[in-house]
């Protein structure tokens, strides 16, 4: 295992639709209120069909550097099928959640020059000074490769998926070990989609299952672990859970992942 992690970058994964409809605005407002810090900020977008004015304010934020990366995912591959209602004629290589899965793999690869990143989605509420809290957590705790939150909302999940860490998490992207594990998982996912009926797997759920079966030492050694800085209430049914009740229940949280 390498030296202790250092948080170097905040990453947002989003879509052009989320930008143009204003769904990203709340998170941008939170970020622009953060005190001056040494972190880079990168926004990964699925394509460039968004209103550029919607994210102009982000460039006035107090991050070290702000970058927008357009992944230019082909429309036929940029899919997230939430419910199958008819026969699917075309299944992309990462399955019916190909859009988010593609973004995840590209983010991990792109950020290999950063020791550690925190990955956010548009529906994240970040508490004031969350960057300082996140830096302190990463720098002051035992090393990890992935650290995030299990689902903490009001729905009882299937036992097969109830212990996975949500995609909003810390990733030690500068670790060769993590890069190799994610690449192994990427190849595995392509094979499973092509040769089995397993074509509806989101990266965070699939990655947990892959780790349990092939890299269980990550769990045993605390390299794939939870943190109370992030709380996951991201299902649609949690939309009306009051934010204050979440804060009271999880007083140490810095990031609340919740449908808005």
Sign of torsion, CA 136 221 185 161?
negative
Q: List, in sequence order, every beta strand (DSSP E) within 33-110.
A: 40-45, 65-70
pTM of the model: 0.96
Tens-digit pLDDT profile for residues 125-150: 999 999 999 999 999 999 999 999 99
Q: Is 254 inside a domain boundary?
A: no
Q: What percent of the chain has pLDDT over 70?
A: 98
Ordered DSSP codes for 158-195: -TTTTTPPPSSEEE-TT-HHHHHHHHHHHHHHHHHHHH
Per-residue confidence band for 1, with pLDDT thresholds at 50, 70 and 90:
very low
Q: Is 104 inside a domain boundary?
A: yes
- pLDDT confidence of residue 224: 98
d(CA 175, CA 169) in angstroms, rounded, equals 15
- pLDDT confidence of residue 222: 96
Q: What is the CATH number of the domain that holds 81?
A: 3.90.550
Q: Is 88 inside a domain boundary?
A: yes
Tell whether the model's pLDDT for residue 193 goes beyond 70.
Answer: yes
Q: Is 257 inside a domain boundary?
A: no
Contact 45, 71 (CB under 8 A): yes
- pLDDT confidence of residue 189: 95
Q: Is 260 inside a domain boundary?
A: no
Contact 10, 41 (CB under 8 A): yes
Q: Averaging pLDDT over each range in 151-155, 185-189, 234-238, which range is the top one?
A: 185-189
Residue 173's domain comprises: 7-227
d(CA 41, CA 229) in angstroms, rounded, equals 19
- Pairing state of beta strands 116-121 and 65-70? unpaired
Q: Is 100 inside a domain boundary?
A: yes
Q: Is 80 inside a domain boundary?
A: yes
Contact 70, 48 (CB under 8 A): yes
d(CA 94, CA 96) in angstroms, rounded, equals 7
- Looking at the structure of the chain, the number of domains it has is 1
Q: Is 239 inside a domain boundary?
A: no
Tens-digit pLDDT profile for residues 94-106: 999 999 999 999 9
Tens-digit pLDDT profile for residues 243-259: 999 999 999 999 999 98
């Amino acid at each position: 295992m390498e030296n202790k992690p250092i948080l170097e970058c905040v990453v947002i994964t989003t879509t052009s639709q989320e930008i143009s409809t204003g769904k990203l605005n709340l998170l941008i407002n939170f970020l622009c209120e953060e005190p001056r810090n040494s972190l880079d900020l990168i926004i990964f977008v699925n394509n460039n069909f968004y209103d550029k004015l919607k994210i102009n304010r982000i460039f006035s934020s107090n991050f070290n550097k702000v970058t927008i990366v357009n992944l230019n995912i082909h429309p036929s591959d940029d899919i997230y099928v939430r419910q199958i209602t008819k026969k699917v004629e075309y299944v992309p290589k990462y399955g019916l959640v190909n859009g988010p899965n593609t973004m995840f793999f590209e983010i991990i690869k792109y950020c290999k020059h950063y020791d550690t990143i925190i990955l956010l989605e548009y529906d994240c509420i970040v508490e004031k000074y969350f960057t300082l809290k996140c830096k302190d957590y990463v720098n002051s705790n035992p090393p990890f490769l992935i650290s995030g939150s299990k689902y903490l909302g009001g729905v009882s999940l299937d036992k097969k998926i109830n212990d996975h860490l949500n995609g909003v998490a810390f990733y030690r992207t500068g670790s060769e070990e993590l890069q190799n594990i994610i690449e192994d998982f990427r190849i595995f996912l392509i094979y499973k989609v092509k040769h089995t009926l397993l074509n509806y797997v989101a990266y965070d759920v699939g990655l947990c299952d892959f780790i349990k079966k092939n890299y269980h030492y990550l769990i045993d050694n605390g390299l794939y672990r939870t943190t109370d800085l992030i709380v996951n209430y991201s299902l649609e049914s949690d939309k009306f859970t009051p934010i204050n009740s979440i804060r009271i229940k999880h007083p140490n949280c810095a990031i609340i992942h919740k449908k808005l």
